[in-house]
Amino acid sequence: MRKYIYLTCLYFMAANSLAQTDDLYQFWNQYDFTRDLSEKWVLQADAGLTSSSTPTDNNALHNVTQIYLRAWVHYYAFEKWKFSVFLANYSNKNVPELNQKHGREFRTALQATYNLHQSPAVKINLRARLEDRHIETDENYMEAVERLRFQIKAVCPLSSLGVKVKKMYVFVSDEVFFKTKSQVSGPEAFDRNRAMIGCGFAFSDDIKIEAAYANEIMPRSGTDKVVNAFQVKGIFNNLFYHLSKPFKRKKNAVDQGEGDL
């Protein structure tokens, strides 16, 4: 048995040494706006922009590769469960993981989030998402790609670690992606692994900002891709609450596992 494990390790080490790898550096930024409708229903709109380096230029701001808009509906079925659906429009240009120079993408998704653990020291959420992607190829053909994602995320208030700043928190997450084979996204069934570590600061109950480092490993035919990304996210809940006085729901366990302290 030991001999088998040793030979297996040697095989993967040799495969990795022979594979070519492109190291890319990216900047991700996203802005989320939510609106509480009731204790069960929440609307959300978010927008984001991604810039990336190239194999010949390590500047993460070298060129804009993606701009997107998304509209969400969230349903809080139980204390620990949240179900979501979104509709999104992406503008892609030289996206490293897609075999295209430019193109549109229309994406819909179903998502379930479950609060696995909650304590004063740490909150852990599990998330599953099924995405239906229609991506424009260089031949102006809208190709369908299905993708399945699983994420685990832990959020820890810094106050639980003895830090006096009560409105700060740190988080770590890992997510695996699986996809169907296609011309535009490649023949691989395993899409990528995305690991993130970051911190957040709550200016108030409704305004937060997060900064994170993300590492993505994308095995691709011929050349693997490794992305090192810096992400900034702004989160705005009921931004104009004091002006329009909408309904404001109470936060529950599944919220707190996503960064709401």
pLDDT for position 99: 60
- Token pair in block for residue 5: 């494990």
Beta bridge partners of residue 135, listed in sequence order = 105, 143
Amino acid at the residue 39 = E
Q: Is 116 left (phi over 0), alpha (psi -120 to 50) or beta?
A: alpha
Q: What is the value of pTM for the model shown?
A: 0.83
Rounded CA-CA distance 42/109 in Å is 16
Q: What is the pLDDT of residue 16?
A: 47
Question: Hey, what are 209's tokens?
Answer: 């900002």
Could you tell me which of 129, 88, 74 has the C-alpha nearest to residue 251?
74
- The alpha carbons of the chain give a radius of gyration, in whole angstroms, of 20
In the Cβ-directed half-sphere of 95, how many Cα atoms lie within 13 Å? 26
141 pLDDT exceeds 60?
yes
Interval 47-105: pLDDT, tens: 999 998 877 778 888 888 899 999 999 999 999 999 999 999 999 887 766 665 677 89
CA distance 77 to 74: 9
**Residue that the structure tokens 């939510």 belong to:** 34
Question: Quick count: other Cβ atoms within 10 Å of Cβ 207?
Answer: 14
> Where would I find the beta strands (DSSP E) of the chain?
20-36, 41-52, 63-75, 81-93, 102-118, 123-136, 142-157, 168-179, 190-202, 207-218, 223-237
* pLDDT tens by residue, 49-58: 999 887 777 8
| Contact assessment for residue 233 and residue 210, using Cβ atoms and an 8 Å cutoff | yes
